[in-house]
Amino acid sequence: MIDPPLAVLAELTHRCPLQCPYCSNPVELERSKTELSTAEWIRVMREIADVGALQVHLSGGEPMARPDLDQIVAAARDAGLYSNLITSAVLLTEERMERLAGAGLDHVQISFQDSEPARADRIAGYRGALAKKKRAAEAVRMCGLPLTVNLVVHRQNLTTLEDLLTMAVDLLPQRIEVAHVQYYGWAIRNRAALMPTPEQVRSALETVERARERLRGRVTIDHVVPDYYGRRPKACMGGWGRRFLNITPSGKVLPCHAAESLPGMVFETVRERTIGEIWRDSPAFDAFRGTSWMPEPCRSCERREIDWGGCRCQALAITGDAAAADPVCDKSPDHVTLTSLTNQALAEGAPDLVYRRYGARAG
Amino acid sequence: MPRLARGVRTRFDPTRQKWIVLAPERLFVPDEIAFEIIRRCDGTATVGAIADDLAAAFHEQRHVVLKDVTALLSDLAEKGVVVT
C-alpha cells in the first residue's frame, strides 16, 4: 500500500523574464510549444486532488507568464487544493493579483535576489526587478493574501543578510524563508561564484536566530543550513515517492524537480496515464522508494527512515552514482569530496555568472 | 480571541478520512482534541469561552481543559497558525 502524496509542484512553464544563475529548473529548459494546454492543466488539478495531494505549488519558470493562470488557480480551488503561487513577481500587477485572489489563490511566495537595486538586477539579469517585486508584495497584502518572502542567499549577498531581513520584514510577510542556493543544474555551473564561506554560514545562523527572537509571534523564519556545510542529509522531497511529485511544463511526472538529471530513467507524462497510476506504479517512482534500494552506509543506518538516504541528484552529481548515500552525510565515504569541492569553489574566487537562458550551455 | 492566521484553513480530507490544517508551505493532521480547539478559533470566542465549551462538551474539569487550550494555542501562535 503506497501512501498518497501530500503536495505537488506544478511547473507551469519554463519561460521566465529573469535569468538567475541558481535557477532550480533543469539546464535543458522546456520550450513553450511543448507546454500543457489550459484544459490539460485543469484536468491535472483534478488528478492531483484524486491521487490524494492537498497542496499545489504553482511554479515555473515564471508561472505568471501563463495568461491562463487564474483558470488553473480556479481549477485547483474547485478540486479542494490549497494553492501557493511561487513567483518572481515582476509580472504581478495589482489587476492580475486581484484576479488570482478572486479565483481562490491561498498564498503567494515572492523571491528576492537582493535588497539593493543594482545588485538585485545583476543577479536576476533583469532591470528594475526589485521595485516591481515590492509593489507586487503590497498588492498581495491589499488582496488579503498571506505572503512568504523568499530570500535566496549565497556568497555575493550573505554579508548583507541583516539588510535583506530588514527589507523582508518591511513587506509585512507572514513568513520569511532564508534559502541558501542548492547546487544542482544551473547552480553547479556557478558554484565557484556563489559558494558561501564558512564564516558567512556561521554568521547567517546567528543573524537568523537574532531575527527570530525579535520577530517571535509576528513572522516565522525558516532557514536551513546549506547542504555542503551539513553533516546529516535532508530528507529530500520527504523521501523519494513518499510525499511529493513534480509536473514539468510538458506534463512529465517526476519524483523531484531535478530528477531528469538522473541517467537511464524514463518519466511518464500526464498525457499517457493518470497521475494516480504513475504515482502508484511506475519504474521511476519505484526506483528509490522506501529503503530496499539502499546500499551501505544507509541500509543499516538508524536514520534510514528519517532522511531516506538524502538526495539522489546530489549523490549522482558528487559521487557519479545516483544510488549512493547523499555525500552530505558524514558517514558517506564521499563526504570529504564535498569539503574539497567547497574549498575549491572558494579558492576559484568569483568568475562571471552563467545566466539561466534557453540554449546557454556554458560550464 | 484566537483565530486562524491569514492563509490557514481546515478541510476534511476524504482520502485520509481526517481533518487537515493547511497553511503556507505546511500542513498537519491535528489529533482530535487539537482539532476541537482549532475549529473553535473563530475570532469571536475568548480562550475562556473555548475552554468552557470544551469542558461542557467532553465532561472535563474546566481548569484542566483551560491549561491544555492555553498550551496548544501558544504553540500554534508560535508556529504562525493561530493569531491571538
Q: How far is CA A276 from CA A49, A254, B16, in A?
A: 10, 13, 15
Compute the Cα dihedral for A47, A53, A56, A57 and give only its sign: negative
CB contact under 8 A, A106 and B11: no
Rounded to two decimals, what is the model's pTM? 0.93
Q: Closest partner residue to B15 among A4, A55, A148, by Cβ?
A: A4
A109 contacts in B (CB within 8 Å)? 24-25
| Chain B residue with Cα closest to A213 | B78
Torsion of CA A127, A129, A132, A138, to 10 degrees: -160
* Tens of pLDDT, residues A126-178: 999 999 999 999 999 999 999 999 999 999 999 999 999 999 999 999 999 99
What is the predicted ipTM?
A: 0.85
Question: Which candidate, A222, A189, A262, places its Cα nearest to that of A19?
Answer: A189
CB contact under 8 A, A175 and B25: yes
User: What does the block give as the cell for A48?
Assistant: 492531483
| 3-class state of residue B28 by DSSP | strand
Interface residue ranges in chain A relative to chain B, Cβ cutoff 8 Å: 4, 6-7, 52, 54-55, 80, 82, 84, 106-107, 109, 144-146, 148, 174-175, 177, 216-217, 219-220, 222
Q: Which of A59, A84, A107 to mutate to test the interface with B (most CBs of B within 10 A)?
A: A107
Q: Is the pLDDT of residue A361 over 70?
A: no
pLDDT band at A185 (very low <50, low <70, confident <90, very high): confident
Q: Is the pLDDT of residue B72 over 90?
A: yes
Compute the Cα dihedral for B29, A46, A12, A89 and give only its sign: negative
What mean pLDDT do residues A300-304 have?
A: 95
* Tens of pLDDT, residues A51-71: 999 999 999 999 999 999 999
Question: Which candidate, A326, A348, A347, places its Cα nearest to that of A337?
Answer: A326
What mean pLDDT do residues A284-288 have?
A: 95
* Chain A: closest CA distance from residue B20 (Å): 9
Cell 503561487, located at residue: A85
pLDDT band at A103 (very low <50, low <70, confident <90, very high): very high
Angle of the A38-50 helix axis to the A69-78 helix axis, nearest 10: 20
- Give percent of chain A with pLDDT exceeding 90: 89
* Chain B: closest CA distance from residue A349 (Å): 35
Interface residue ranges in chain B relative to chain A, Cβ cutoff 8 Å: 5-7, 9, 11, 13, 15-16, 20, 22, 24-25, 27, 77-80
Q: Closest partner residue to B13 among A54, A109, A219, by Cβ?
A: A54
Residues comprising chain A, all counted = 363
Q: Is the pLDDT of residue A363 over 80?
A: no
pLDDT band at B26 (very low <50, low <70, confident <90, very high): confident
Q: Which of A82, A149, A150 to mutate to test the interface with B (most CBs of B within 10 A)?
A: A82
Yes or no: domain B3-78 corresponds to CATH 1.10.10.1150:
yes
| Contact status, residue A133 vs residue A110, Cβ threshold 8 Å | yes
Residues comprising chain B, all counted = 84
A175 contacts in B (CB within 8 Å)? 24-25, 80
Q: Closest partner residue to B22 among A82, A177, A222, by Cβ?
A: A82
What mean pLDDT do residues A234-258 have?
A: 95
CB contact under 8 A, B20 and A216: no
User: What does the block give as the cell for A363?
Assistant: 560550464
CB contact under 8 A, A82 and B25: no
| Contact status, residue A325 vs residue A332, Cβ threshold 8 Å | yes
CB contact under 8 A, A4 and B16: yes
Q: How many helices (H) and strands (E) are present in chain B, helices listed first? A: 3, 5
| Contact status, residue A223 vs residue A178, Cβ threshold 8 Å | yes
What mean pLDDT do residues B74-80 have?
A: 87
What mean pLDDT do residues A60-86 have?
A: 97
pLDDT band at A336 (very low <50, low <70, confident <90, very high): very high
- Map chain A to HEC letters: CCCCCCEEEEECCCCCCCCCCCCCCCCCCCCHHHCCCHHHHHHHHHHHHHCCCCEEEEECCCHHHCCCHHHHHHHHHHCCCEEEEEECCCCCCHHHHHHHHHHCCCEEEEEECCCCHHHHHHHHCCCCHHHHHHHHHHHHHHCCCCEEEEEEECCCCHHHHHHHHHHHHHCCCCEEEEEECCCCHHHHHCHHHHCCCHHHHHHHHHHHHHHHHHHCCCCEEEECCCHHHCCCCCCHHHCCCCCEEEECCCCEEECCCCHHHCCCCCCCECCCCCHHHHHHCCHHHHHCCCCCCCCCCCCCCCCHHHHCCCCHHHHHHHHCCCCCCCCCCCCCCCHHHHHHHHHHHHHCCCCCCCCCCCCCCCC
| 3-class state of residue B47 by DSSP | helix
Q: Closest partner residue to B25 among A52, A148, A216, by Cβ?
A: A148
Q: What is the pLDDT of residue A43?
A: 98
A55 contacts in B (CB within 8 Å)? 22, 27
CB contact under 8 A, B6 and A54: no
- For chain B, the structural domain boundaries read 3-78
